[in-house]
Amino acid sequence: MTSEGTRIAITGAGAVTPAGWGMPLMLESLRNSKPLETTSLCMPGNDESAVYLRREVPKADNKESFLRHPRLRRASSSGRYLAAAAMEAMGDDLKHSVSSGDTRLGIVVSCYTGGINYSQRFYREVLEDPATASPIIFPETVYNAPASHLAALFGSSEINYTLVGDESQFLTALEIGANWLVDDEVDAVLVAAAEENNWLSAEALSLFTRSSVLGEGAAALLLERCESPEVELELITDMFTFTGKCPRKDALHSMRAQLPGGKIAEVLFEGGNEGHLWDSWQGRRISVREIFGEGFGVSVAWACAAAAGLMKSAEVNSALVSGSGMNQACAATLFTGNSSSKTD
């Protein structure tokens, strides 16, 4: 085993947001702190249905050659977002090293709603006439289709998980990826999440909150073992599940208790589901939800990618991401840079 003293570096990050395709556009939007423009969304083919607000990912640049990969031609929107974020996170050298079999790449993807547009379309066809429902769409409705496309895109035969749950599960994915590296299961891990806009999700969200704006996109982090990381995964707290015995408030306090005291980080990425937990936070704070919309499973992933991006550009030297989910669990993660005071 190589577990003693293992340090994990975030060596790449990628993002697709309503601001556009790529980390620079995401970071620019967050620096501006101005919520992006919204468009309306209603039930397809029914102009009289309820109208919801959303923030859409702009159309992709057709010059992006990887989007013409056979696996991505019919991929869902979220699958394409995921691929773009993953491509950005992986450097060219690593892509070559994985495809040539020199580097073992593990993949962990988390999602909340999955490929909901295809699921909705396929089920509509089934209700109309199951005998003519499209066999091309069905496989893309399966939760792990996007993660499978990543494996094909990069030529990885290694372990590949898709996790389903609320947005906190991106941190479970991050934990799994980090532990795969600690256990020497693989040499690098791509941890990613993606979601896509859909009127069913918008309608569902409206049942619980009137003010939310739907968002969509993807984010990816590349994790590798490193002795002197530029951006380090310092810690992930335990995952605290919300139950009757441990309601959200208690879970959040347990999460907070596992974080270091004093000034934890220069910037806090708050999730929006934490109540008053961070009221006394005195440093900079960023809410990706306010800028990009309700991203469901991708919200925490955006925050982590943004944290890594800001640290990479030396804008901040430490970042805390508070990942409280809608209804499942909460956890937090701390990233530190070269010169920040370490917590151990």
Residue 38 or 241: the one with the smaller Cβ distance to another protein is 241
Q: Minimum distance from CB of 84 to another protein (Å)?
A: 19
Q: Minimum distance from CB of 223 to another protein (Å)?
A: 10
Q: Minimum distance from CB of 32 to another protein (Å)?
A: 32
For residue 95, the number of C-alpha atoms closer than 13 Å in the C-beta half-sphere is 14
Q: Which residues pair with 319 in a beta bridge?
A: 267, 335
Residue 64 or 125: the one with the smaller Cβ distance to another protein is 125
CA-CA distance, 134 to 115, in Å (whole number)? 15
Residue 71 or 312: the one with the smaller Cβ distance to another protein is 71
Q: Which of left, alpha, beta for 155 (phi over 0: left; psi -120 to 50: alpha)? A: left
Residue 287 or 328: the one with the smaller Cβ distance to another protein is 328
Structure tokens given for 106? 């593990």
Contact 210, 204 (CB under 8 A): no
- The DSSP secondary-structure symbol of 181 reads H
Residue 36 or 264: the one with the smaller Cβ distance to another protein is 264
Q: Minimum distance from CB of 121 to another protein (Å)?
A: 11
Terminal C-alpha separation, the chain: 22
Q: Minimum distance from CB of 260 to another protein (Å)?
A: 11
Residue 21 or 112: the one with the smaller Cβ distance to another protein is 112
DSSP alpha helix (H) spans, 142-240 = 145-154, 169-182, 199-206
User: Residue 276: which residues within 8 A CB-CB, separation 6 or more?
Assistant: none
Residue 29 or 172: the one with the smaller Cβ distance to another protein is 172
Q: Minimum distance from CB of 133 to another protein (Å)?
A: 5
Q: Minimum distance from CB of 11 to another protein (Å)?
A: 15
CA 193 to chain centre: 4
**Of 169, 223, 271, 215, nearest in space to 77 by CA:** 215
Three-state secondary-structure class, residue 164: strand
Tell me the CA distances in angstroms from 336 to 17, 228, 285, 287, 312, one per residue in order. Answer: 24, 11, 16, 19, 10
Q: Minimum distance from CB of 105 to another protein (Å)?
A: 10
Q: Which residues pair with 9 in a beta bridge?
A: 224, 232
b or e along 172-202 (b: 16 or more beta carbons within 10 Å of the residue's beta carbon)?
A: bbbbbbbebbbeeebbbbbbbbbbbbbbebb
Residue 3 or 32: the one with the smaller Cβ distance to another protein is 3
